């Protein structure tokens, strides 16, 4: 009797233990998951449904299949917003990486007042966007702004109109957003630079490598995980740029700085066309996902080598 | 086991707290007491600096002690979004103030507004048609601003230029702006704010144009005029106004510009700023806005200008017992009595009878000349925007056109034909 009961009881105890552990595990993540589900997951799922309807916020909505997406494909404004978003990203991502990495390399040296400079470079990141927009609008003012005064001083008789010119508004926005973001990414690069093994640099120096060779062959490869993280974050943030442009130019002059997020905002909150705005959000969502997947795949192939 | 119980209890408490968050709040069905007294809620914005809501609420309560009007204060910049969200959640106020006409159709098509066609309105009240959809009224105007020309008499005297006399077309205005600029040291002839209304509003109303028709060639002369003025330095350029975030209150109030086309709401602001010392102390007057041609000029004609009313609608989900009281409040807000009260605090009521205009100009610091009272009282004010579900989308496109032209990023013809194409393709024509 006892010989058969013992293994049974043991297995029952094991399964009880497993249930208990599973329940405990779930209970640990549940509070966080509840928040995530109610504030993110469910709204995103609802968004997908809304993109297939003609919902205008009040009352019931009609299911219209992929009509919104067909309309997007032939919408000139959406195309402009899409191109502008890519234009912004293509300028902003490399520029921010170069500037923030350059700053990190510079402030990784033991120079006098390094803590002050690091703090100073980080400040724009924590400054209010509205304040940034106000001040930069004044700096870039075409007739009275200090930037054009300086350009005129150096003999450029016809300086650009910056935020008030359709050709220069996007480059101006990129300059401002790079200035704003560089501090944050600099901190990430600074942290990563601390992890580059000193011995590698010493060995390279023994082999006669100059500063540039040491940078490309030792520093850069050691920074690869951080570089990957920075690129992914920067890409997603660039694709969904919104607030800065809204307060700086409101998408103008004309449509020269209208980006996808602003298109969504206009259609949804200004024109109450929430179904259509949701469809544009879904496009932006997939754009972010696809670019990120490509980056992950590329990184994995690089790591495998 | 004990730990599981604790964890489960914790989760249960959390879930209850979450559930508690979502079930609070009042629905618009409340507010009827057993003794028959009622509380109506009314949506407003910036109650501290916008006294009209409290004024109307108090005046109505005085006449009807059984009814209390409570104001729900919203943020002014996101007013329509916030009210929309509250209405969609079924928690909107009983009386919905219509801040911008372009949202009326959104509320109406969404079934949020009660038919108020049976509210009796005094004869001659302006802005009524802005709230009508297919002949049915969905709100009642109590205030109607219209655009006039402000001018600084001291600067005109200094430059030796004659005051506007009500006979001006835009050509006269341009000539005066140029003359003032060259005669004055440092001040510009005029200031035109960067909003699309400050140009398109006049073009639409004086050409009796429908922006939904998708043809904007009539705006060309207006744009060419303004471009010429900014190129000649007779007004601050659009680019400087936007880049330096110039305010019209600052430019006119501190005498940097001798003229200012602006809505009648600025009367109260200017008086307040002059008495508070925020604006310089100078004599000023109001003239009718310059006209397209001389068929509507002169004090024996009726000048054409534009302006949208502000009005009250009733929440379609209001408690049935409160409907009569709410309609009575709407009728009161549109009445001569309320209009006089509003005029006394410098607000332009939708009803402009003689006693109302008298009250309007009795405010200390307001101009006393005849032309000013003519300009405030006599005008054909056409709606700035048609009441349609396409208005917001068309306006956004026209705003892009406005910034492209005035920033001189695009030629007038190109920008206009691009806007026409966009309206046809993206919004569709009626």
Looking at CA atoms only, how far is residue A19 from chain B in angstroms?
11
Q: At what angle do helices B370-377 and B354-361 cross, to 10 degrees?
A: 130
Contact status of A138 with chain B (Cβ, < 8 Å): yes
- Output phi, psi for B43, to 5 deg: -85, 135
Q: Please, is B102 exposed, middle or buried when counting C-beta atoms within 10 Å of its C-beta (0-12, 13-18, 19+)?
A: buried
What is the rounded CA–CA span in Å between residue B405 and residue B417? Answer: 12
Same domain, B333 and B399: no
What is the rounded CA–CA span in Å between residue A184 and residue B119? Answer: 60
Query: CB–CB of B409 and A165 under 8 A?
Result: yes
Q: Is B14 domain-assigned? A: no
- pLDDT class of B103 with cuts at 50, 70, 90: confident
Contact status of A275 with chain B (Cβ, < 8 Å): no
> What's the structural domain count of chain B?
2
User: What torsion, rounded to 10 degrees, do the Cα atoms A149, A150, A155, A160 define?
Assistant: -70
If contacts are CB pairs under 8 Å, which of residues 53-112 in chain B contact chain A?
A: 81, 84, 87-88, 106-107, 109-112
Contact status of A257 with chain B (Cβ, < 8 Å): no
Closest CA to B367 of B153, B73, B80, B102: B153
Same domain, B183 and B314: no
DSSP 3-state of B349: strand
pLDDT-wise least confident of A242-246, A274-278, B32-36, B188-192 = B32-36
Query: CB–CB of A271 and B393 under 8 A?
Result: yes
For an interface test with B, the pick among A56, A253, A267 (most B C-beta atoms closer than 10 Å) comes out as: A253
What is the rounded CA–CA span in Å between residue B190 and residue B205? Answer: 21
Contact status of A42 with chain B (Cβ, < 8 Å): no
Q: Is B358 domain-assigned? A: no
Query: CB–CB of A20 and B7 under 8 A?
Result: no
Q: What's domain A68-304's architecture?
A: Orthogonal Bundle (1.10)
Looking at CA atoms only, how far is residue B300 from chain A in angstroms?
41
- Check residue B295 and report its DSSP letter: G
What is the rounded CA–CA span in Å between residue A96 and residue A237? Answer: 12
Which two structure tokens, joined as six digits, stand for B414?
A: 């190109």
Q: How far from B297 is each of A106, B17, B259, B357, CA to CA, in Å?
A: 69, 67, 18, 21
Q: What is the CATH number of the domain that holds B116?
A: 3.40.190.10
Does the structure show a pLDDT above 80 at B9?
no
Same domain, B174 and B239: yes
Contact status of B242 with chain A (Cβ, < 8 Å): yes
The reply to whether omega before A253 is within 30° of 0 (cis) is: yes
Last residue of a domain, one of B351, B373, B406: B351
Kindly report each contact of residues A124-129 with a partner whose C-beta sits within 8 Å and lies 24 or more positions away, as own/partner. A124/A179, A124/A180, A124/A181, A124/A182, A124/A183, A125/A180, A125/A181, A125/A182, A125/A183, A125/A184, A127/A180, A129/A180, A129/A243, A129/A244, A129/A247
Contact status of A75 with chain B (Cβ, < 8 Å): yes
Contact status of A74 with chain B (Cβ, < 8 Å): yes
Q: What pLDDT is attached to residue B46?
A: 86
Q: How far from B384 is each of A271, B100, B158, CA to CA, in Å?
A: 17, 10, 35
- Check residue B189 and report its DSSP letter: E
Domain that holds residue B107: 38-145+307-351
pTM for the full model?
A: 0.85
If contacts are CB pairs under 8 Å, which of residues 168-227 in chain B contact chain A?
A: none
Same domain, B83 and B229: no
Same domain, B393 and B338: no
DSSP 3-state of B235: strand
Determine contact, residues B7/A27, Cβ cutoff 8 Å: yes
Beta strands in B10-82 (DSSP E): 38-45, 67-74
Same domain, B141 and B166: no
Tell me which residue in B7, B11, B400 faces A255 most closely, judged by beta carbons: B400
Looking at CA atoms only, how far is residue B417 from chain A in angstroms?
13
**Every domain of chain A and the residues it spans:** 1-50, 68-304
Which two structure tokens, joined as six digits, stand for B169?
A: 């077309």
- Output phi, psi for A167, to 5 deg: -80, -35
- pLDDT 10s digit of each residue in chain A, 305 long? 445 557 788 888 888 999 999 999 999 999 999 999 999 999 999 999 999 999 888 767 889 999 999 999 999 999 999 999 999 999 999 999 999 999 999 998 888 888 899 999 999 999 999 999 999 999 999 888 899 999 999 988 888 889 988 899 999 999 999 999 999 999 999 999 988 888 998 999 899 889 899 999 999 999 999 999 999 999 999 999 999 999 999 898 999 999 999 999 999 988 888 999 999 999 999 999 999 999 999 988 888 77
Beta-bridged to residue B72, according to DSSP, are B43
Q: What pLDDT is attached to residue B19?
A: 40
- Output phi, psi for B78, to 5 deg: -105, 20
* DSSP-derived secondary structure for A150-212: HHHHTT-SS---GGGSTTTHHHHHHHHHHHHHHHHHHHHHHHHHTTS-HHHHHHHHHTT--HH
Does the structure show a pLDDT above 70 at B7?
no
Determine contact, residues B87/B58, Cβ cutoff 8 Å: no
Looking at CA atoms only, how far is residue A90 from chain B in angstroms?
23
Query: CB–CB of A23 and B88 under 8 A?
Result: no
Tell me which residue in A145, A166, A255 faces B243 most closely, judged by beta carbons: A145
Same domain, B160 and B282: yes
Q: Please, is B1 exposed, middle or buried when counting C-beta atoms within 10 Å of its C-beta (0-12, 13-18, 19+)?
A: exposed
Q: Which residues of B touch A56 (CB under 8 A)?
A: 106, 109-110
Same domain, B347 and B287: no
What is the rounded CA–CA span in Å between residue B97 and residue B83? Answer: 9
Same domain, B297 and B314: no
Q: Which residues of B touch A163 (CB under 8 A)?
A: 242-243
Closest CA to A186 of A137, A91, A119, A255: A119
Q: Please, is A52 exposed, middle or buried when counting C-beta atoms within 10 Å of its C-beta (0-12, 13-18, 19+)?
A: buried
Last residue of a domain, one of B351, B373, B407: B351
Query: CB–CB of B18 and A142 under 8 A?
Result: no
pLDDT digits (tens, 9 = 90+) for B389-418: 888 899 999 999 999 999 999 999 999 999
Same domain, B338 and B393: no
Same domain, B234 and B140: no
Same domain, B410 and B284: yes
Q: How far from B299 is each of B144, B371, B372, B377, CA to CA, in Å?
A: 21, 8, 11, 11
Q: Is B338 domain-assigned? A: yes
């Amino acid at each position: 009797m006892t010989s058969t009961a013992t293994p049974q009881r043991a297995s029952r105890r094991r399964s009880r233990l497993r249930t208990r552990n599973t329940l405990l595990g779930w209970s640990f993540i549940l509070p966080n998951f509840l928040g995530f589900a109610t504030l993110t997951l469910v709204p995103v799922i609802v968004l997908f449904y809304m993109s297939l309807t003609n919902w205008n916020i009040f009352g019931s909505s009609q299911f219209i299949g992929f009509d919104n997406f067909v309309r997007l494909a032939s919408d000139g404004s959406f195309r402009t917003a899409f191109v502008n978003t890519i234009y912004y990203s293509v300028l902003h991502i490399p520029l921010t990486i170069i500037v923030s990495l350059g700053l990190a390399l510079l402030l990784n040296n033991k120079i006098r007042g390094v803590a002050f400079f690091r703090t100073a470079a980080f400040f724009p990141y924590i400054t209010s966007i509205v304040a940034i927009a106000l001040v930069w609008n004044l700096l870039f003012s075409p007739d009275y702004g200090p930037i054009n005064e300086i350009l005129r001083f150096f003999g450029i008789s016809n300086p650009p109109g910056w935020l008030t010119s359709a050709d220069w508004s996007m480059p101006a926005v990129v300059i401002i957003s790079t200035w704003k973001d560089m501090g944050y990414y600099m901190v990430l690069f600074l942290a990563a630079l601390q992890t580059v093994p000193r011995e590698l640099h010493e060995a390279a120096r023994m082999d006669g490598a100059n500063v540039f060779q040491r940078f490309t062959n030792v520093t850069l490869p050691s920074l690869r995980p951080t570089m990957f993280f920075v690129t992914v974050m920067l890409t997603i943030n660039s694709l969904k740029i919104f607030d800065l442009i809204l307060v700086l130019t409101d998408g103008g002059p004309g449509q020269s700085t209208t980006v996808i997020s602003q298109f969504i905002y206009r259609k949804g909150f200004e024109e109450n066309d929430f179904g259509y705005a949701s469809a544009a959000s879904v496009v932006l969502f997939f754009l972010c996902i696809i670019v990120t997947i490509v980056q992950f795949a590329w990184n994995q192939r690089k790591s495998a080598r | 086991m004990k730990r599981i119980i604790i964890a489960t209890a914790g989760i249960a408490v959390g879930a209850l707290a979450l559930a508690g968050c979502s079930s609070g709040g009042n629905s618009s069905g409340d507010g009827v007491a057993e003794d028959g007294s009622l509380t109506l809620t009314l949506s407003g914005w910036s109650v501290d600096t916008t006294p009209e809501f409290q004024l109307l609420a108090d005046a109505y309560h005085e006449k009807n002690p059984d009814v209390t009007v409570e104001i729900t204060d919203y943020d002014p910049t996101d007013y329509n979004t916030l009210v929309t969200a509250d209405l969609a959640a079924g928690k909107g106020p009983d009386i919905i103030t219509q801040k911008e006409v372009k949202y009326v159709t959104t509320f109406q098509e969404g079934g949020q507004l009660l038919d108020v066609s049976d509210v009796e309105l005094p004869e001659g009240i302006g802005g009524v048609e802005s709230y009508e959809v297919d002949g049915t009224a969905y709100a009642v105007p109590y205030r109607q601003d219209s655009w006039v020309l402000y001018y600084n008499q001291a600067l005109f005297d200094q430059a030796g230029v004659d005051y506007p006399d009500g006979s001006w077309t835009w050509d006269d205005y341009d000539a005066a702006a140029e003359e003032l600029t060259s005669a004055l040291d440092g001040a510009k002839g005029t200031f035109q704010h960067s909003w699309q209304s400050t140009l398109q509003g006049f073009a639409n109303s004086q050409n009796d144009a429908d922006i939904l028709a998708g043809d904007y060639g009539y705006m060309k002369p207006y744009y060419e005029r303004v471009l010429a003025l900014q190129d000649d330095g007779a007004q601050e350029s659009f680019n400087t106004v936007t880049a330096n975030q110039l305010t019209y209150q600052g430019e006119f109030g501190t005498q940097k510009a001798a003229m200012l086309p602006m809505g009648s709401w600025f009367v109260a602001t200017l008086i307040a700023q002059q008495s508070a010392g925020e604006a310089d102390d100078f004599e000023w007057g109001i003239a009718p806005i310059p006209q397209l041609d001389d068929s509507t000029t002169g004090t024996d004609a009726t000048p054409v200008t534009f302006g949208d009313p502000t009005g009250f609608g009733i929440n379609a989900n209001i408690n049935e017992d409160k409907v009569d009281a709410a309609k009575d409040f709407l009728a009161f807000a549109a009445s001569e009595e309320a209009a006089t009260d509003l005029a006394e605090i410098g607000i332009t009521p939708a009803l402009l009878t003689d006693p109302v205009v008298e009250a309007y100009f009795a405010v200390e610091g307001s101009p006393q000349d005849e032309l000013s009272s003519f300009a405030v009282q006599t005008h054909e004010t056409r709606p700035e925007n048609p009441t349609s579900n396409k208005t917001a989308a068309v306006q956004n496109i026209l705003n892009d056109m406005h910034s492209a032209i005035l920033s001189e990023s695009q030629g007038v013809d190109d920008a206009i034909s691009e806007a026409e194409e966009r309206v046809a393709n993206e919004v569709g024509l009626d």
